[in-house]
Amino acid sequence: MEHNNVNAFSAEDVQNALALMTTGDEPGRLIPRPWLKLLQHVAPCVRSEDEFARFFDEILTMQLSGDLMGVLFPGSAWGGIKYSNWLPEFFVLASMGVDGVSYGAVIRAPELAADDFPWGEFSPMDDEPISLLGLDTLDALRNLAAEAVLLRDDELDDEEDASESDSAAKELNLKVLGNVLGAAFAIPQKSSRFTAGGDFRKLPKPSHPGYLYVPTPDGMGVFAPDSAFEPTHRKSGKCRTAPLNDLIDAASRAMASSFPASSLLYSRAARWEYGFDKDLAPRINLLIADAYDALGRHYFASQMRAL
């Protein structure tokens, strides 16, 4: 993977930027603490931005990306593309580097304090773009490491001239990963993110006292205080689809009636059905942003307004 190395790599600068992410401000407080711990450990051990990226590429077949990497390496093309079916609840941390597939934390209610989150895989080309990667950071990294080991073994079998030194280096990096993340990071022989039939597992349903979760067609759902939903949603727990104008009108009425979670349901349904339309998308995204703001999820709102 190539990057624009417009700034000289400074492990100290990266460490300082990572330290600022622990202050409790967004987006820093949304990064899972185990992931932050790993980044903090690796930064002083490498000599360049590319080497920093290669550490993760070699052991987990992932490429660092997302908004946080733009903070660490200003001027570099780390952010990636935001697709029309991307959602801010999917906090991008890394990517596969192929077909827009990315990995990240699934943060459905950022106002609820947490040190870790489930991880998902976002595949924009799939009918159901969001799937479960791991129940938390360790689970996700274990699954990725298991898949990386299988891929590496296949490559060694297929390539007669495969370098033993490359294999040894990857083994060493895997040990470093285990040392940082602790004894719980034992690499399984098989990834647990697939069903017995080989399908991707769905994201777990969240729960919290006083909160309601309503599924949405995009697979993420809306998770918010009960009082932020219309009575019909509190009773049915379902999100309906409808023609575009009906959904937009319903979203506007719900917002005017102080039901921002229901407004988010309607506008997200509209985005799922019509968000690919470049003329309609800005209007729909603004409705979604307004709903996030009303729920106090201002970082999510800013992400939607930036699309």
Q: 94 near 58, Cβ under 8 Å?
A: no
Per-residue CA distances from 35 to 32, 122, 136 (Å)? 5, 18, 10
pLDDT in tens, 128-176: 788 999 999 988 988 888 877 776 655 555 555 555 545 555 565 666 6
pTM of the complete model: 0.84
CA distance 36 to 180: 11
pLDDT of residue 287: 96
C-beta of residue 248 within 8 angstroms of C-beta of residue 301: no
* pLDDT tens digits, one per residue of 253-266: 999 999 999 999 99
Please say whether the beta carbons of 92 and 68 come within 8 A: no
- For residue 143, give the nearest of 160, 115, 119, 113 by alpha carbon: 119
User: Which pLDDT tens digit goes with each residue over 19-63?
Assistant: 777 776 777 788 898 888 888 888 887 777 777 777 777 767 777
* Positive or negative: CA dihedral 5, 92, 86, 253: negative
Domain ranges of the chain: 11-181, 211-305
Express each pLDDT in 66-90 by its tens digit.
766 766 776 665 556 677 778 999 9
Q: Please provide the DSSP assignment of 36-89 as one string.
A: HHHHHHHGGG-SSHHHHHHHHHHHHS-EE-SHHHHHHSTTSS-S----TT--TT
The pLDDT tens digits of the residues spanning 178-217 come to 676 665 666 767 777 888 887 888 899 999 999 999 999 8
